[in-house]
A and B are shown apart, each in its own frame.
Chain A
Amino acid sequence: MTLRYVQRGFVYALLSIAAFISVFPFFWLMVGATNTSSDILRGKASAGGALFANFSKLIQQVDLPILFWNSSKIAVIATALTLVVASLSGYAFEIFRSKLSDRIFAGLLAMLSIPFAALMIPLFVIMAKLHLINTHTALIIPTIASIFMIFYFRQATKSFPTELRDAARVDGLNEWQIFFYIYVPVMRSTYAAATIIIFMANWNNYLWPLIVLQTNETKTLTLAVASLLSAYVPDYGVVMVATTLATLPTLFIFFVLQKQFVQGLLGSLK
């Protein structure tokens, strides 16, 4: 029996340390936003009085409303388009299976292993030829047909009851009507999870925006935070305020829709 208690104690200790390490940086972020840069670098882990000063420095250095608007606009449009395009094709790859479509799908999965680094130069050249550099269009279009999301929707479609499709066909719906009137509402939670995943990926996207967006008016919040950080002597107080602002929306969405988020990740594993 004592052995059991020792084991228990060990498990709790392990989990507590892991939880502490996981959460501490968030605490550090919030506290850091209230401290001066030198306090932060000195390791001061208690709240200070510099929040207002940091914030006013931040809005002097960057155009916060524009950054928020750019980030939100890109994330919302990209998410909506990705949902439509990826779910239509993911559904079709599962429902209208043929030898050809299975082969194409296998080809898509193989492409998933190709690093973005291998594609970014040609993509940049395409965008340059289309005169889309420094536009949000250039940022959004390549992300819409996300192979990962197509895969995700195809996996999720496996749990869509075929008898519902049959019933809808007997009821006189064509394939498009079945998709929009039956599939979409029935798979609500799948869409909710996908929404969160896609939104976060777009909101947090860094490398591709860094390449195609070079003017201040087009930059996203994430890019602005990164450029504040890459200054020769970064003002950490300011960076922390900016990072807090950039993290709050995802944090909020995560806590509101935590369950769907986790289920969504798991949906891709089935």
Chain B
Amino acid sequence: MAQAPNKTTLTSWLFTGPALTLLAFFMVYPILSSLWMSLQVGKGMNFSFGGFANMWRLTQDAVFQHALLNTLTLLVVQVPIMIALAMLLAVALNDPTLKGRAIIRTAIFLPCITSLVAYSVLFKSMFAVDGVVNRFLEALHIMDQPIPWLTDTFWAKILIILAITWRWTGYNMIFFLAALQNIDPSIYEAARIDGIPSWARFTKITLPALKPVILFTTVTSTIGTLQLFDEVNTITLGGPANATLTLSLYIYQLSFKFMPSFGYAATVSYVIVVLVMILSFLQFLFARERRRT
């Protein structure tokens, strides 16, 4: 080969060099380091090699199992509700004859610009026992007793689900809207001329076209929910009685509250990695299966 490709190759590595160097130090090294750490036992800065001791500890740790169960519960309940809601709103908004479309779209999208801390402030105050939400529900005669949002183990979970759904539905909706706008309108016109009823137009034309977006939003939302930290740390602090303790929050507590237990915290964090990998894999598999049938 001539000289030119070598020169181009060199230039290309200079372009990617800064990013790859930074990632090596602040991404690859921490990943390897935490893998190594997960094999260490001990408190504070006193480590000793423990082999799989930390993994054994996982099976004995009731708090961890509680946190895992909480995280999975949030995942199973919240992600499907949010994705369905985002899709429903996008389909409703996709009608070009709708009045005030742009304003409604902006309004629904607005929550995703707030900082996680800011919306924690909002939800904590709105959902106080005598707060505006309970007052509203009482005024509508839905409830005669105020709901203990922040102090009841069941309602605290609901509150977290409401908060995440509020923050991220509009964000996911934008992706659905974009995909809907990419569908050639003449397909719907052809379907109408062919006499296809509207529900079948939705299931046979709209849904298949949305499948890549459903996959994308589900995978990103799953990753987000598995890593859930900010809202539970500021709205409920994991309480009451660890009812909203998530894996990320537990890792944070293991590392930076009490007596730090870095090795064990690293082990717990790899539980999240494994979960993300399994769930992403299952979702891709599911998407491929459906495509085949």
Partners in one complex: yes
Residues of chain A within 8 A (CB-CB) of B269 are: 115, 117-119, 121
Question: Number of residues in B with C-beta < 8 Å to the partner?
Answer: 90
Q: Are A266 and B175 interface neighbours, CB within 8 A?
A: yes
Q: Are B126 and A96 interface neighbours, CB within 8 A?
A: no
Q: Are A116 and B113 interface neighbours, CB within 8 A?
A: no
Residues of chain A within 8 A (CB-CB) of B108 are: 15, 18-19, 22
Q: Are B26 and A96 interface neighbours, CB within 8 A?
A: no
The main secondary structure of chain B at its interface with chain A is helix
Partner among A15, A175, A200, A236 whose Cβ is within 8 Å of the Cβ of B8: A175
Residues of chain A within 8 A (CB-CB) of B166 are: 21-22, 25
B19 at interface by CB-CB < 8 Å: yes
B201 at interface by CB-CB < 8 Å: no
Residues of chain A within 8 A (CB-CB) of B104 are: 15-16, 18-19
Residues of chain B within 8 A (CB-CB) of A91 are: 15
CA distance A85 to B20 in the complex (A): 9
CA distance A96 to B251 in the complex (A): 40
The main secondary structure of chain A at its interface with chain B is helix
Q: Are B34 and A122 interface neighbours, CB within 8 A?
A: yes
B65 at interface by CB-CB < 8 Å: no
A23 at interface by CB-CB < 8 Å: yes
Q: Are B178 and A115 interface neighbours, CB within 8 A?
A: no
Q: Are A41 and B130 interface neighbours, CB within 8 A?
A: yes
Q: Are A206 and B113 interface neighbours, CB within 8 A?
A: no
- Chain A interface bracket (under 10, 10 to 19, 20 to 34, 35 or more): 35 or more
Q: B192 to chain A: closest CB distance in Å?
A: 14
Chain A residues in the interface with B (C-beta under 8 A): 11, 14-16, 18-19, 21-23, 25-26, 28-29, 32, 40-45, 84-86, 88-89, 91-93, 95-96, 98, 101, 104, 108, 111-126, 141-142, 144-145, 147, 150, 174-176, 179, 200, 203-204, 206-207, 211, 222, 225-226, 229-230, 236, 239-240, 243, 246-247, 250-251, 254, 258, 262, 265-266, 269
